[in-house]
Structures are given as C-alpha cells and as structure tokens.
Chain A
Amino acid sequence: MSADALPEHDALAAELALGLLEGEERAAALRRVLAEPEFARAVSDWRDRLAPLFDLVPDMAPSADLWARIDAALDGRAASPQRTGFWKGAAAAALAAAAALAGVLVLRPAPPPQIVTQPAPPRLAAPLMPEGASGTMMASYDPGHAMLRIRAETMPDDGRMPELWVIPEGGEPHSLGMIRQAGTTEMAMPAELKAWLVDGATLAVTLEPATGSPTGKPTGPMIASGTLTTV
C-alpha cells in the first residue's frame, strides 16, 4: 500500500512529536493530545519510531559539580547562582514583557511584580504565552500559602470563559478552576491539586462554558500556555 500522504492526523502527530509546530498550530495539536487518546497515541508512536536517533547524539560531559548542584536542589538548599540567575532573568523578562503589554493597553496601572524570592519554599512562576488573540498572562504560585495568582490582560470575548489547567509532564490535564477574563485571579489550591504545581508542570488556559468544561477535560481552544519554573 502506498498513499500519497499520511492521513492528516498522523502527519500532525509526527510534526508535534518532532517539535516542528509553533503558535496556533501547536496549540491546536496539543489540544488534540489532551482530548483524543488516539491522537495522543499517534504522537507517542512517532516518538518511539524516532527514538533510535538519540543514539547518534554524541555524549558530552557537563561540569563536574553538576551532580552536587542537583543533590543540593533535591534538599531544597539554595540552587546554584547560575541557575537562579537564569530563571530569575527569564521571569523578569517575561514580567517586563507583560508589563510592557499592560502599558500599551493602558487598562490599569500594572500591579507590582509578584515574583519575589523568599527563603523557602521557592515560588514558581509561568509566563503563559498567547496562542492567537489573547495577551500574555502571568501566573505565579506560592507553595507556602498554596496560593495561585494569574493575571490576564486581554482575552477573546466569545461568550466562553477561561479555565486554567495544570498538565504534569507526560500526564493528564487537571482543572485548577475558572479565571477572570481580565485582572488578577487568586485561587487557593486544595491539597490534591498542590501536588501538580511543581517545577516543569505546564499551565494552560482554554475557553470553556461559563460553568467549566462539561467533561472535566479541556474541550475548547487553548489560548495560552507556559511552563512553571522556580524563581
């Protein structure tokens, strides 16, 4: 059997597995992973097919002290200066971008930055990059108080409401609740959701019916997403 092309869903699965997609195309494909188990399997099959390519990447040696840095981070001791500096820089850049956006829109005075370093436990933050018409959103999580804050500036207004999800790496999306279309939403996280809010988890916002997704899984378009990182 020889077709002219892969079925569209399989071609898309291959493109997502390779990381070729960006912007709205990527958002749409990710949404299908969440909503369609068959599509999710197609993506994972492509990853398996390509996995032997990892053999071709030559081994490289990181700094000799890297294990010590990891070991220290596991203890919750201060992370290395380099790492802290990098993520702080990334968060600051994201905040600056969000603040610049707020300035352009002149909707309200930009709230003071919420990303501050505290002794322990470290806070997490995620700039949620827009997919399409919405603006950048900034999420921050304070594990000490189990408080999640998310600030939105502009959002498509089509009668649906934004719902926030956390997607653990390689896992299923869990709803964190509905958020406001503009301004800051503060959400106290119950114990069962706290476990998901860790460094590396993905946050995503989809548009859902006002009462929330009827299925418990995202059903509407994803409008923003980002990765939680320690700041």
Chain B
Amino acid sequence: MTATDASDDARARLTAALVRAGEGDRSALRQVYQATHAKLFGIILRICGERQAAEDVLQDVYLTIWRRAGAFDPGRASPITWMATIARNRAIDRVRSSAIRRTEPEDAALAVADESPLAPELITQAQAATRLHGCLDTLEERQQAAIRTAFFDGLTYAELAERQAVPLGTVKSWIRRGMMKLKECLGDVR
C-alpha cells in the first residue's frame, strides 16, 4: 500500500468513527480520541503555552466534538480539519478570555518547524499541503512569518505587532499582501 492509500484509509476510518460518534456511539468517540488527541493537543498547547490550561481546553474540545459530531458533514470538510479548527478556536477563546499575558514560547518543544512539513498523515490531502507550502514559500520572508505566527500562536494584530516590534499598520499590510499572494498562488479552493 502506498503512503497516500494509507492516509486515505486512515481518513476514511476517522470519518466513519466521527459519524458513529454523532449517532451516540461512545466507543467511536474513543476511537476518534485515540486517532487525534496528540495532534489536537499539539495545536492547543502551542496557543495556550501551558499544559494545565491546554488539557482543560482539550477536554472541552472532545466534549464539543461529541455534541457536534452529528452536525459534521463529511462531504464538506475533512474530519481532522473540522476538529483542528474547533481546537484552535477554543484555545484562542481560552487565552483571550483569561488575563494571561502571553509570552513567546520558551520551551523548544513548542517551537514549530518552519521548514519542510512533517508527513501530512491524516490532515489533508498531500497535494493540498504541497501546494500551500509551495505558495507560502513564494511570499516575502516577513509576510510568511507574520501569517505563520498568527496561525500557530493565535495572535491578534496588536499582539503580532508587539512581538515583531513594528507598527500595527505594518503587520497588517504584511498579512494582507501575503494573503493576497497566497490566494493568487493557490487559485480557487471551491
């Protein structure tokens, strides 16, 4: 079996488990948890920066997935993207609703590789990943860095400007120009 087949197969199994969880099958939710918790925890921990808070968010995310799995539309989104988006949004909500002053991650384990992507595993079709990373590479360094940091750390414009020590308008223009180039490069998603 090729790597792509294996990844398709894993995605199909995850989709099936999520659909069963949506029908109230708790063993299916456990299967979803086993297949995805390390990925979701990585996303959340990166944004929260602190294990305790990140575990609270992770627990919350699976309870949300359990309640919302019935609404998951396999034709619309990949299961892991759907879950990763919930995880990212909940982590951002958690950080912004608390008064925690975020600092740059000091733990090397929290740093995100910004060179070659890891194996695309379950996440997305390898093709889409290759295309996005190829397109990101066409952006200016600072545009690319701003978009990556915003995505991985869940920062606002104000936080991004502070961290990069540049005026807010500058960061905004990097992001907007970068996103325009990215869209041109990627073409239609629909």
Q: Judge whether A145 is part of the interface by a CB distance below 8 angstroms.
A: no
Q: Assuming the A-B contacts A45-B189, A60-B109, A93-B99, are A53 and B152 also in contact, with contact meaning beta carbons closer than 8 angstroms in the complex?
A: yes
Q: Judge whether B28 is part of the interface by a CB distance below 8 angstroms.
A: no
Q: How many pairs of residues, A versus B, come closer than 8 Å at their CB atoms? A: 193
Q: Judge whether A113 is part of the interface by a CB distance below 8 angstroms.
A: no
Q: Judge whether B184 is part of the interface by a CB distance below 8 angstroms.
A: yes
- Least Cβ distance of A65 to chain B in Å? 10
Q: Judge whether A199 is part of the interface by a CB distance below 8 angstroms.
A: yes
Residues in A whose Cβ lies below 8 Å from that of B121 = 55
Residues in A whose Cβ lies below 8 Å from that of B39 = 54, 57, 59
Residues in B whose Cβ lies below 8 Å from that of A82 = 52, 55-56
A-facing residues in B48-84 (Cβ within 8 Å):
51-56, 58-60, 62-64, 66-68, 71, 77-78, 80-81, 84
- Least Cβ distance of B10 to chain A in Å? 14
Q: Judge whether A105 is part of the interface by a CB distance below 8 angstroms.
A: no
Q: Assuming the A-B contacts A57-B42, A200-B64, are A18 and B147 also in contact, with contact meaning beta carbons closer than 8 angstroms in the complex?
A: yes
Asked if B114 and A56 sit within 8 Å, CB to CB, the answer is: yes
Asked if A198 and B175 sit within 8 Å, CB to CB, the answer is: no
Choose from A22, A45, A48, A70 the contact partner of B96 (Cβ within 8 Å).
A22
Residues in A whose Cβ lies below 8 Å from that of B33 = 67, 70
Interface centre among A11, A53, A63 (most CB of B within 10 A): A53
Which of A150-158, A168-176, A182-190, A212-220 is the contact stretch?
A168-176
Q: Judge whether A78 is part of the interface by a CB distance below 8 angstroms.
A: no
Asked if A52 and B92 sit within 8 Å, CB to CB, the answer is: no
Residues in B whose Cβ lies below 8 Å from that of A170 = 68, 71, 86
User: Which A-B residue pairs are the 10 nearest by beta carbons?
Assistant: A59-B38, A52-B129, A60-B42, A52-B132, A51-B81, A14-B179, A57-B42, A6-B180, A54-B84, A62-B41
The residues of A with any CB-CB pair to B shorter than 8 Å are 1-3, 5-6, 10-11, 14-15, 18-22, 41, 45-63, 66-67, 69-71, 73-74, 79-80, 82-83, 86-87, 90, 93, 127, 129, 168-171, 198-200, 226-227, 229
